[in-house]
Amino acid sequence: MYVWEGSLWKQATGSIEGIREEFVFTSTAGQTVFSGLDDNGLTLVMDAVELVDVFLNGIKIVKGIDYTLDIFNNTVTFASGRTLNDIVSVHSFGNFTAATNSLNIVGGSVNGSPIGNTTADSGTFTNLTATGTTSVGTITGTSLTATQSATLQQAGSTKLQTTTTGVDVTGTVTADGLTVDGDSITANAQDAVTIEFSGAGGIISADRTGGNYGELSFKTTAGAAPLSRLKIAYNGDVSFYEDTGTTQKFYWDSSAESLGIGTDSPTALLDVVSTSNPSMKVRSNGGIVGNYAELTLQSFNSFSGSGQAFIRGVSSASGNSNTDLVFGTNDSGFGSPVERMRINNSGNVGIGTAAPSYPLHVTGVIGATGQILSGGGGAAATPEFSFTADNTLGMFRLPNVLGFSTGGTERMRIDSGGNLLVGTTSLVTGGYAARFNVQTAANTAIFKCTAAAGGGTSLQTVRDTDGGQVVFHQGGSAVGSISSTASGVTYSTTSDRRLKDNIKPIADATDKLMSMKPVTHTWIADPQAAAVVGFIAQEMQEIVPEAVTGNPEGEEMMSMDYGRITPVLVAALQDALRRIKSLEETLTELDVA
């Protein structure tokens, strides 16, 4: 056989299969794709994958493992980058090419007619035209024309037959590509129609599920049995499958108009079920401070912004490295919802503030119906309930004790017995039992009434039965008391004989009495008040010093206990009575005489 080489006929020999062309490329460092002009200025051309061999530095390499071919784009792609100055040689084989004007056959026969003789059967063929049945082993040319039905058989079995309306194919058609020049592809199979992509490993099938119902399914293969990926049921349900192709993980229930992720039985418009965390993630890739991903909730309302609430993940640092969780609601009107609560990236919760500085930071009034429980306790220096402006002022808890502090120091507490202790952490010593205990080195208690004249009382003591109202102690001993009955008040001071020593009668009671200067006077603080009777403390201090308190030269005003002069008055009166009795006895004796 001779092959036309463009300018002359050349006889083909058995040493090569068809026409071979070699393309040589010198690689750059890391180069993986080779195409276009080679080192010799030849453009890489390949006819078929099976007609191409590739050599690397003179060694033939494995197709499909070391490299892949793209016949349509004439490219060779290596699985890994090549080393600098590697020599890549591509050997591309082609079919014999006939001359454009004739095919010169010098021997053989067509349909039993000899070729190359001087008979009428010899000649040059461009097309092979038959008016009857033509059987050939191999036909190479541009067209085959039949005036009747043409049939192609394999081993006596018809595989392709032309008809007046098209081509009837029996068996499987394997093609590199399929172009449909029309509006549709119609299949009349009774049970299923399948399109299989053997090279790509995919299957599309339309199956009959019963009656006139059908479903469309998509499957893929990975070197094993086909795996379900997508199925559209006759009723509109849509299922997407997980990697094993056995379980529906993304499911649209058309009748319920519900979408299930991780479940094929959605119970809500969107039902997400997951056996791992997280179940759902909403992300924003803005990467700037203030950028957020949001889940918006809106009740039924046609007005934009009305009845809305949102949950946002807000970036609080560039690059989304820190994120705050923000909750917002729309209280009224048609405005956009506003922030109500925030959990920042440090875990602090803010209500009424976008910058919480504490685990719970509330700006505004806090109301509670029921208990407010705290698991901490704190101490006087760091009270558990304190104030932003002064965190050393507040209330703290110790075991069975509620304490109050200012300046980080305890000032008052209520103990486990319900006793109120001020200035002390324990009951006042001395065996006293009282609910109110005050201990201090300064003034112990001040009671002030600011009512108008004649109104109010600075201190009231109340009891329901007869008994003590006030008890006075000195050095651990009771030295006086005020008690009451239904009819009056008794003021008592210590007078027990067992407490006294050096007991003597008052010898100068009359002199003391006569030295006293009772006066009437008014008070400077109340000049409009009526005059009253009394003594001058400075004068009485010289006569009965135990009845007077204070220093005449001191800043504190002097005071006087009028009860302390009672013994002097009684002794003076007794002296007077004795003298009267003595005089009466003397007069009686004179009268008798």
Residue spans of beta strands (DSSP E) within 535-589: 548-549, 559-560
CA distance 210 to 187: 17
pLDDT value for 16: 36
Among 193, 152, 188, which Cα is nearest to 170's? Answer: 152
**In tens digits, what is the pLDDT along the chain, a chain of 593 residues?**
444 454 554 554 433 345 578 999 999 999 999 999 999 999 999 888 888 999 999 999 999 999 999 988 999 999 999 999 999 999 988 654 444 444 444 455 555 555 544 444 444 444 444 444 445 444 555 555 655 567 777 766 888 888 777 787 887 777 666 676 665 566 655 556 666 665 556 777 777 665 556 788 888 876 667 888 888 888 888 999 888 888 888 889 998 889 988 888 898 888 888 877 766 776 666 555 667 777 777 776 555 556 678 888 887 765 556 788 898 888 765 677 888 999 998 899 999 998 898 888 888 888 888 877 777 777 888 888 888 788 889 888 888 898 889 998 988 999 888 888 888 888 877 666 677 777 777 777 787 888 887 788 878 888 889 998 888 888 777 888 889 998 888 888 888 888 889 999 988 989 999 999 999 999 999 999 999 999 999 999 999 999 999 999 999 999 999 989 999 999 999 999 999 999 998 999 888 76
Tokens found for residue 572: 């003076």
CA distance 589 to 46: 175
Q: Is 84 helix (H, G, I), strand (E, B) or coil?
A: coil
Is the whole model's pTM more than 0.75, yes or no?
A: no
Among 160, 216, 212, which Cα is nearest to 190's? Answer: 212
CA distance 222 to 127: 45
Tokens found for residue 460: 């009231």
> What is the Rg, in whole angstroms, of the alpha carbon atoms belonging to the chain?
60
| Strands 532-534, 519-521: pairing kind | antiparallel
Among 301, 290, 378, which Cα is nearest to 339's? Answer: 290
pLDDT value for 535: 94
Tokens found for residue 358: 């504490």
| Strands 559-560, 409-414: pairing kind | unpaired
| In contact, 310 and 319? CB cutoff 8 Å | no
Query: Which residues have a Cβ under 8 Å from the Cβ of 426 and sit 6 or more positions away?
Result: 415
End-to-end CA distance of the chain: 204
CA distance 550 to 381: 41
CA distance 225 to 219: 10
For the chain, give the number of residues.
593
The distance of Cα 217 from the centroid of its chain, to the nearest Å, equals 40
Residue spans of beta strands (DSSP E) within 117-190: 128-130, 144-146, 151-154, 157-162, 167-169
Tell the burial category of 159 from Cβ atoms under 10 Å away from its Cβ (0-12, 13-18, 19+).
Answer: middle
Among 555, 519, 513, 522, which Cα is nearest to 537's? Answer: 519
